[in-house]
């Protein structure tokens, strides 16, 4: 079992670490929810890692855009994306329009990049702890994966460690900023150092930035301006504004990278929704309304998680830092190594679901999403606090699954 604290071991030759032994995060969540709902227990979804869907705002936009006539934003997305979405994204990233490609969500963007940029024998280098989709997509395409460790309370990246984990076959380096699952940011100088190293070795750095906008003015997209031709940004509307229903993702990249990606996209992408991406264009054009919605949710929720986090540290229930931005935290549950068993125990008894660190490659940690209505956050975190105390008192952490 791999541990990711201050004393976590490094990788083996070439930075290779064992692949996670656990099933997918998404399947685990579905199974737990199904069980909780079948038993009619309360369900507080602290596994959610975005603000809730802004249904009222969506209703207003759709009503205004499609009530009397059909909005001009309803345009074909077949040739690489809705043109109004591309206009908005090009302005946000401060790049030319031809450096932006729309996709069906961020997962669709990752899959397209893997298929377009990897040749037989190429390898992918992935951060650990990390979002399991990086590995899942690679395995679905039979692409080998190596790993490097993000360490300490900040889950920081050491560029030298990244370089040691590379092999001559490393073609893609996968990072997330803000980090999923911890919510911590990558220091700009660290990202710049990794980009220089990748350029020198003929590799490309793909940065999943689906949480990046939570950092506000402190966040600079990796592919904006002229940072480096080796840097590629991937993002979507799912995490920043809770708009997974629109399935609007994108890639921003240097023309030398985008050329093979566009070529493959022309051959394989037929499913981008004209309707969903028309609504996405309208959302992006009114981004201030959605920013206000998100910030309003977090202004109510953050003081609650800060209070509980301080209590956990004081009581020795949890260890680790609360990230300064975003809507997720990834503390270490003190004295509990099998956090998958604990999370299932908590859901069964309290109807509160948190994500065990096993699904990010970090047993002993819990990912907690707190961008919810204050009453739900408070109830869920109180149940989690009581659960941690009772679980340890019962000795469940020793018995595990026996």
Tens of pLDDT, residue by residue over 381-396, are 999 999 999 998 888 6
Cα angle value 248/217/299 (rounded, 5°)? 80
Q: Is the pLDDT of residue 8 over 60?
A: no
pLDDT of residue 6: 31
Instruction: Report the pLDDT averaged over residues 108-126.
Output: 96
Biggest alpha carbon distance in the chain?
64
Tens of pLDDT, residue by residue over 28-71, are 888 888 888 887 677 889 999 999 999 999 999 999 999 999 99
pLDDT of residue 399: 53
Q: Is the pLDDT of residue 16 over 70?
A: no
Query: All domains of the chain, ordered by start, with CATH?
Result: 22-49+289-390 (3.90.1150.10), 70-285 (3.40.640.10)
pLDDT of residue 29: 87
Instruction: Report the pLDDT averaged over residues 150-173.
Output: 97
> Rounded to an integer, what distance in angstroms lies between the CA atom of residue 320 and that of residue 364?
12
pLDDT of residue 352: 94
Tens of pLDDT, residue by residue over 294-351, are 999 999 999 999 999 999 999 999 999 999 999 999 999 999 999 999 999 999 999 9
pLDDT of residue 142: 92
- CA-wise closest residue to 5 among 357, 315, 332: 332
Least trusted range by pLDDT, from 143-147, 253-257, 268-272: 268-272
* DSSP string for 305-346: HHHHHHHHHHHTSEESPPPSSSSEE--EETT-S-HHHHHHHH
> Rounded to an integer, what distance in angstroms lies between the CA atom of residue 279 and that of residue 273?
10
Q: Is the pLDDT of residue 402 over 70?
A: no
Category of 316 on φ-ψ map: left (φ > 0), alpha (ψ -120 to 50) or beta: left
User: pLDDT exceeding 90 applies to what percent of the chain?
Assistant: 81
pLDDT of residue 18: 43
> Rounded to an integer, what distance in angstroms lies between the CA atom of residue 322 and that of residue 182?
8
pLDDT of residue 41: 74
Q: Is the pLDDT of residue 21 over 70?
A: no
Rank 66-80, 173-187, 222-236 by mean pLDDT and report only the highest. 173-187
Least trusted range by pLDDT, from 9-13, 22-26, 61-65, 137-141: 9-13
Average pLDDT, the chain: 90
- Please report the beta strands in 196-331, taking only residues with DSSP state E, as ranges in sequence order: 204-208, 231-236, 248-252, 318-319, 328-329
- CA-wise closest residue to 178 among 7, 369, 352: 369
> Rounded to an integer, what distance in angstroms lies between the CA atom of residue 137 and that of residue 335?
33
Give the phi and the psi of residue 96 in degrees, each rounded to 5: -70, 155
Q: Is the pLDDT of residue 380 over 60?
A: yes
pLDDT of residue 227: 74
pLDDT-derived band at 114, boundaries 50, 70, 90: very high
> Rounded to an integer, what distance in angstroms lies between the CA atom of residue 263 and that of residue 301?
44
Instruction: Report the pLDDT averaged over residues 277-286.
Output: 98
SS3 for 68? coil
> Rounded to an integer, what distance in angstroms lies between the CA atom of residue 176 and that of residue 166?
18
pLDDT-derived band at 157, boundaries 50, 70, 90: very high
Instruction: Report the pLDDT averaged over residues 141-145.
Output: 93
């Amino acid at each position: 079992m791999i541990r990711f604290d201050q004393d976590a071991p490094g990788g083996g030759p070439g930075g290779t670490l064992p692949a996670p032994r656990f099933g997918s995060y998404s399947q685990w969540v579905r199974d737990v929810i199904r069980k909780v709902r079948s038993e009619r227990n309360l369900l507080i979804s602290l596994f959610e890692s975005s603000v809730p869907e802004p249904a009222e705002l969506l209703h207003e936009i759709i009503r205004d855009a499609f009530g009397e006539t059909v909005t001009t934003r309803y345009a074909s997305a077949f040739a690489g994306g809705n043109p109004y979405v591309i206009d908005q994204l090009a302005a946000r990233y401060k790049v030319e329009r031809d450096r932006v490609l729309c996709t069906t969500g961020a997962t669709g963007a990752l899959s397209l990049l893997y298929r377009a940029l990897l040749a037989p024998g190429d390898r992918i280098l992935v951060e650990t702890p990390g979002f399991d989709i990086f590995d899942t997509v690679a395995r679905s395409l039979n692409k080998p994966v190596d790993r490097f460790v993000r360490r300490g309370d900040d889950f920081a990246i050491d560029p030298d460690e990244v370089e040691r984990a590379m092999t001559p076959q490393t073609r893609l380096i996968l990072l997330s900023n803000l980090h999923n699952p911890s919510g911590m940011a990558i220091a700009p100088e660290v990202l710049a150092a990794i980009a220089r190293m990748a350029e020198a070795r003929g590799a490309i750095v793909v940065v999943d930035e689906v949480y990046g906008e939570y950092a506000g003015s402190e966040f600079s997209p990796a592919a904006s301006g002229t940072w480096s031709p080796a840097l590629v940004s991937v993002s979507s509307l799912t995490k920043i504004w809770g708009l997974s229903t629109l399935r609007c993702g994108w890639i921003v990249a240097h023309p030398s990278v985008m050329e093979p990606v566009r070529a493959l996209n022309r051959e394989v992408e037929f499913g981008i929704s004209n309707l969903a991406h028309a609504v996405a264009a309208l959302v992006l054009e009114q981004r201030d309304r959605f920013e206000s919605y998100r910030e309003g949710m977090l202004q109510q929720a953050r003081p609650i998680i800060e209070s509980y986090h301080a209590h956990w540290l004081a009581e020795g229930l949890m260890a680790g830092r609360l990230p300064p931005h975003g809507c997720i935290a990834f503390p270490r549950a003190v004295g509990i190594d099998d956090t998958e068993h604990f999370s299932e125990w908590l859901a069964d008894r309290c109807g509160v679901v948190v994500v065990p660190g096993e699904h990010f490659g970090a047993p002993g940690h819990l990912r907690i999403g707190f961008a919810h209505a204050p009453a739900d956050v408070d109830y869920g975190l109180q149940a989690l606090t009581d659960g941690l105390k009772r679980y340890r008192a019962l000795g469940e952490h020793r018995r595990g699954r026996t």
